[in-house]
Every structure is written in C-alpha cells, then in structure tokens.
Amino acid sequence: KTRDLMWDWVEDNWDNIVKKLNKSKSYDYLPVYIAGAVTDEKGQKKYREFFKLKMNDKSLTKNIAVGEADIEARIAWRKRDEQKIKDFFKDQLKKK
C-alpha cells in the first residue's frame, strides 16, 4: 500500500528531513502534510507514536495537534460516509 510505503520512508528518513528543512517554513508544517495521508486508525496510531517523540520540538507541537485533529475528522468522515459513497458509485456503474 502506498501510504505504508510513505510512512516507512518518513520514519526512515526523518533525521535527513530535519537536516534539510529545519530552518525553512516547510519544517513546521510537516506533521500536517504527513497527517494528510492518514485515513484510518492504524495510520493514526503510527502518527501518534511517531510524533509523540517530537512533541518537545516547539516548532512542531501545534501542527502535530492540527494533524491529529485532521486525522480524527477524516476517520469520522469515513465511518459516516464511506459506504454511502461506495454504494453510490456501484449504482452509477449499474446504470451504464
């Protein structure tokens, strides 16, 4: 799965990412960017575990929380609407 590959890459390359982006504005947005790829509880757990160790970095703290809120909303959306959307598209395919 692509998301798993992305996550593994982030974990394996975090130190290099920090070295390259630490002084740029992009650095503090990393938790939000990464959270954008998390859509389920499994990914949420990985996100929490990984960024728990980064909470002492004051430049990341706020956006770690923003990323967590985004993940929560995405999981809730999927639970609420995913099956309805799948059913809608199945019905559309039947009409063709």
Listed as own residue / partner, the contacts of 76-82 with beta carbons closer than 8 Å and 24 or more positions apart are 78/39, 78/40
Q: Residue 13 corresponds to which tokens in the numbers above?
A: 């390359």
Residue 76 has pLDDT above 80, yes or no: yes
Tens-place pLDDT, residues 34-44: 999 999 999 99
In the block, tokens 């996100």 appear at: 47
pTM, two decimals, is: 0.85
Tell me what percent of the chain is helix, strand and coil, each rounded to the nearest 5. Answer: 85, 0, 15
Query: CA-to-CA distance for 22 and 65, rounded, in angstroms?
Result: 19
Query: CA-to-CA distance for 96 and 87, rounded, in angstroms?
Result: 15
Residue 23 has pLDDT above 90, yes or no: no
